[in-house]
Amino acid sequence: MRRAVGALLRKDLTAELRTFESIPAMTLFAVTTFVLFHFGLDRSSLEGDLAAGVLWVTLLFAAVLGQNRLFVAEEEQGGFDGFLLAPVDRTALFVAKALALFAFLVVVEIVAVPAFGLLLLGPDLLDPLPGLVLVLLLADAGIAIVGTLVAGLAIRTRARDLIAPLLTLPLLVPVVLAASEATAPLLAQAGAEGPPGRWLAILAIYDLTIGLVAYGVFDFLLED
Protein backbone atom coordinates (compact mmCIF):
# COMPACT_ATOMS: atom_id res chain seq x y z
CA MET A 1 0.00 0.00 0.00
CA ARG A 2 2.85 2.37 0.76
CA ARG A 3 4.11 2.21 -2.82
CA ALA A 4 0.63 2.82 -4.19
CA VAL A 5 0.13 5.83 -1.92
CA GLY A 6 3.54 7.21 -2.90
CA ALA A 7 2.87 6.78 -6.61
CA LEU A 8 -0.57 8.39 -6.42
CA LEU A 9 0.71 11.26 -4.30
CA ARG A 10 3.58 11.95 -6.70
CA LYS A 11 1.12 11.93 -9.58
CA ASP A 12 -1.15 14.49 -7.90
CA LEU A 13 1.70 16.77 -6.86
CA THR A 14 3.29 16.58 -10.32
CA ALA A 15 -0.05 17.37 -11.95
CA GLU A 16 -0.49 20.39 -9.69
CA LEU A 17 3.02 21.64 -10.47
CA ARG A 18 2.25 21.39 -14.17
CA THR A 19 -1.24 22.88 -14.19
CA PHE A 20 -1.43 25.08 -11.06
CA GLU A 21 -5.17 24.48 -10.87
CA SER A 22 -5.72 24.40 -7.10
CA ILE A 23 -3.03 26.12 -5.05
CA PRO A 24 -3.01 29.51 -6.86
CA ALA A 25 -6.81 29.73 -6.71
CA MET A 26 -6.88 28.82 -3.02
CA THR A 27 -4.10 31.28 -2.20
CA LEU A 28 -5.64 34.10 -4.20
CA PHE A 29 -9.00 33.55 -2.54
CA ALA A 30 -7.51 33.61 0.96
CA VAL A 31 -5.37 36.71 0.39
CA THR A 32 -8.21 38.56 -1.36
CA THR A 33 -10.55 37.76 1.52
CA PHE A 34 -8.04 39.14 4.02
CA VAL A 35 -7.77 42.31 1.93
CA LEU A 36 -11.56 42.65 1.98
CA PHE A 37 -11.65 42.20 5.74
CA HIS A 38 -8.84 44.73 6.11
CA PHE A 39 -10.84 47.45 4.38
CA GLY A 40 -14.33 46.23 5.26
CA LEU A 41 -13.84 46.12 9.03
CA ASP A 42 -12.12 49.51 8.98
CA ARG A 43 -9.86 48.62 11.90
CA SER A 44 -6.12 48.96 12.24
CA SER A 45 -5.76 45.46 13.72
CA LEU A 46 -7.73 42.50 15.04
CA GLU A 47 -7.11 40.28 18.02
CA GLY A 48 -8.60 37.42 19.99
CA ASP A 49 -11.83 35.74 18.90
CA LEU A 50 -12.46 38.06 15.95
CA ALA A 51 -9.00 37.52 14.48
CA ALA A 52 -9.27 33.75 14.93
CA GLY A 53 -12.72 33.68 13.33
CA VAL A 54 -11.57 35.65 10.29
CA LEU A 55 -8.54 33.41 9.85
CA TRP A 56 -10.35 30.08 10.08
CA VAL A 57 -13.43 30.94 8.08
CA THR A 58 -11.18 32.18 5.28
CA LEU A 59 -8.97 29.08 5.35
CA LEU A 60 -12.03 26.83 5.43
CA PHE A 61 -13.55 28.31 2.29
CA ALA A 62 -10.18 28.26 0.56
CA ALA A 63 -9.93 24.55 1.36
CA VAL A 64 -13.34 23.93 -0.22
CA LEU A 65 -12.00 25.34 -3.48
CA GLY A 66 -9.18 22.82 -3.42
CA GLN A 67 -11.28 19.81 -2.52
CA ASN A 68 -13.57 20.32 -5.50
CA ARG A 69 -10.63 19.58 -7.84
CA LEU A 70 -9.28 16.50 -6.06
CA PHE A 71 -10.99 13.80 -8.14
CA VAL A 72 -11.78 15.73 -11.31
CA ALA A 73 -8.92 14.16 -13.31
CA GLU A 74 -9.91 10.63 -12.26
CA GLU A 75 -13.54 11.27 -13.22
CA GLU A 76 -12.87 12.95 -16.58
CA GLN A 77 -10.02 10.69 -17.73
CA GLY A 78 -11.28 7.32 -16.53
CA GLY A 79 -8.84 7.11 -13.66
CA PHE A 80 -11.38 5.48 -11.35
CA ASP A 81 -11.83 2.49 -13.69
CA GLY A 82 -8.09 2.04 -14.05
CA PHE A 83 -7.55 2.21 -10.31
CA LEU A 84 -10.31 -0.32 -9.61
CA LEU A 85 -8.61 -2.75 -11.98
CA ALA A 86 -5.20 -2.30 -10.37
CA PRO A 87 -4.10 -4.92 -7.79
CA VAL A 88 -3.72 -2.42 -4.93
CA ASP A 89 -5.59 -1.53 -1.77
CA ARG A 90 -8.34 0.88 -2.78
CA THR A 91 -7.95 2.96 0.37
CA ALA A 92 -4.54 3.96 -0.99
CA LEU A 93 -6.38 6.45 -3.19
CA PHE A 94 -8.02 8.03 -0.16
CA VAL A 95 -4.74 8.31 1.75
CA ALA A 96 -2.93 9.81 -1.25
CA LYS A 97 -5.66 12.36 -1.94
CA ALA A 98 -5.86 13.37 1.72
CA LEU A 99 -2.09 13.85 1.84
CA ALA A 100 -2.23 15.89 -1.37
CA LEU A 101 -4.95 18.17 0.01
CA PHE A 102 -3.01 18.51 3.27
CA ALA A 103 0.06 19.55 1.28
CA PHE A 104 -1.99 22.06 -0.70
CA LEU A 105 -3.28 23.60 2.53
CA VAL A 106 0.21 23.89 4.00
CA VAL A 107 1.51 25.65 0.89
CA VAL A 108 -1.47 28.02 0.85
CA GLU A 109 -0.96 28.86 4.53
CA ILE A 110 2.73 29.63 3.98
CA VAL A 111 1.52 32.56 1.89
CA ALA A 112 -1.88 33.31 3.45
CA VAL A 113 -0.92 33.39 7.14
CA PRO A 114 1.82 36.03 6.68
CA ALA A 115 -0.65 38.03 4.56
CA PHE A 116 -3.17 37.71 7.38
CA GLY A 117 -0.61 38.95 9.87
CA LEU A 118 0.44 41.86 7.68
CA LEU A 119 -3.08 43.02 6.84
CA LEU A 120 -4.92 42.32 10.08
CA LEU A 121 -2.41 41.80 12.90
CA GLY A 122 0.64 43.89 12.08
CA PRO A 123 3.89 42.62 13.65
CA ASP A 124 2.01 40.72 16.38
CA LEU A 125 2.02 37.44 14.42
CA LEU A 126 5.63 36.55 15.22
CA ASP A 127 5.15 35.77 18.91
CA PRO A 128 2.17 33.37 18.59
CA LEU A 129 3.50 31.73 15.41
CA PRO A 130 4.92 28.51 16.99
CA GLY A 131 1.64 27.71 18.72
CA LEU A 132 -0.32 28.70 15.65
CA VAL A 133 1.64 26.25 13.49
CA LEU A 134 0.56 23.37 15.75
CA VAL A 135 -3.10 24.39 15.54
CA LEU A 136 -2.83 24.78 11.77
CA LEU A 137 -1.39 21.30 11.28
CA LEU A 138 -4.05 19.62 13.44
CA ALA A 139 -6.85 21.51 11.73
CA ASP A 140 -5.40 20.88 8.27
CA ALA A 141 -5.44 17.15 8.94
CA GLY A 142 -9.16 17.22 9.77
CA ILE A 143 -9.97 19.43 6.79
CA ALA A 144 -7.99 17.18 4.44
CA ILE A 145 -9.71 14.00 5.68
CA VAL A 146 -13.23 15.41 5.50
CA GLY A 147 -12.58 17.19 2.22
CA THR A 148 -11.24 14.05 0.56
CA LEU A 149 -14.15 11.91 1.78
CA VAL A 150 -16.78 14.38 0.63
CA ALA A 151 -15.03 15.03 -2.69
CA GLY A 152 -15.02 11.30 -3.40
CA LEU A 153 -18.73 11.13 -2.59
CA ALA A 154 -19.72 14.17 -4.64
CA ILE A 155 -17.55 13.69 -7.72
CA ARG A 156 -20.00 11.37 -9.48
CA THR A 157 -22.98 13.65 -8.99
CA ARG A 158 -24.06 16.31 -11.43
CA ALA A 159 -24.08 19.11 -8.86
CA ARG A 160 -20.75 18.23 -7.26
CA ASP A 161 -19.69 21.88 -6.94
CA LEU A 162 -22.80 22.49 -4.84
CA ILE A 163 -23.04 19.22 -2.94
CA ALA A 164 -19.40 19.16 -1.78
CA PRO A 165 -19.56 22.45 0.19
CA LEU A 166 -23.01 21.61 1.60
CA LEU A 167 -21.67 18.33 3.02
CA THR A 168 -18.25 19.61 3.99
CA LEU A 169 -19.18 22.66 6.03
CA PRO A 170 -21.35 20.89 8.65
CA LEU A 171 -18.75 18.14 9.09
CA LEU A 172 -16.03 20.71 9.68
CA VAL A 173 -17.89 22.72 12.31
CA PRO A 174 -16.01 20.90 15.13
CA VAL A 175 -12.67 21.60 13.42
CA VAL A 176 -13.35 25.30 12.90
CA LEU A 177 -14.77 25.70 16.42
CA ALA A 178 -11.85 23.95 18.11
CA ALA A 179 -9.26 25.66 15.90
CA SER A 180 -10.76 29.08 16.55
CA GLU A 181 -10.90 28.52 20.30
CA ALA A 182 -7.30 27.30 20.29
CA THR A 183 -6.14 30.22 18.15
CA ALA A 184 -7.95 33.04 19.96
CA PRO A 185 -5.58 33.12 23.00
CA LEU A 186 -2.60 33.16 20.64
CA LEU A 187 -3.90 36.25 18.88
CA ALA A 188 -4.89 38.08 22.06
CA GLN A 189 -2.32 40.44 23.48
CA ALA A 190 0.37 39.25 21.04
CA GLY A 191 0.06 35.63 22.06
CA ALA A 192 0.40 36.12 25.80
CA GLU A 193 -1.27 32.75 26.33
CA GLY A 194 -0.64 29.42 24.68
CA PRO A 195 -3.32 27.35 22.92
CA PRO A 196 -5.64 25.60 25.42
CA GLY A 197 -4.75 21.94 25.64
CA ARG A 198 -8.35 20.77 25.66
CA TRP A 199 -9.05 22.29 22.24
CA LEU A 200 -5.90 20.74 20.80
CA ALA A 201 -7.06 17.40 22.23
CA ILE A 202 -10.48 17.86 20.64
CA LEU A 203 -8.85 18.53 17.28
CA ALA A 204 -6.64 15.45 17.59
CA ILE A 205 -9.54 13.21 18.67
CA TYR A 206 -11.75 14.46 15.85
CA ASP A 207 -8.96 13.92 13.31
CA LEU A 208 -8.47 10.36 14.53
CA THR A 209 -12.18 9.55 14.64
CA ILE A 210 -13.12 10.96 11.26
CA GLY A 211 -9.95 9.49 9.77
CA LEU A 212 -10.88 5.97 10.88
CA VAL A 213 -14.46 6.40 9.64
CA ALA A 214 -13.33 7.74 6.26
CA TYR A 215 -10.72 5.00 5.91
CA GLY A 216 -13.36 2.36 6.63
CA VAL A 217 -16.06 3.60 4.24
CA PHE A 218 -14.00 4.86 1.30
CA ASP A 219 -13.63 1.40 -0.23
CA PHE A 220 -17.41 1.00 -0.45
CA LEU A 221 -17.78 4.58 -1.66
CA LEU A 222 -15.37 3.91 -4.50
CA GLU A 223 -17.33 0.86 -5.64
CA ASP A 224 -20.62 2.75 -5.70
pLDDT of 173 above 90: yes
What does pTM read for this prediction?
0.89
CA angle 123, 53, 138 (to 5 degrees): 85
User: Each residue of 51-90: pLDDT tens digit?
Assistant: 889 999 999 999 998 888 777 766 666 565 566 666 667 7
User: Each residue of 92-140: pLDDT tens digit?
Assistant: 888 888 999 999 999 999 999 989 888 887 656 667 778 889 999 999 9
> How would you classify residue 78: left for phi > 0, otherwise alpha for psi between -120 and 50, otherwise beta?
left
Highest mean pLDDT among 13-17, 84-88, 147-151: 147-151
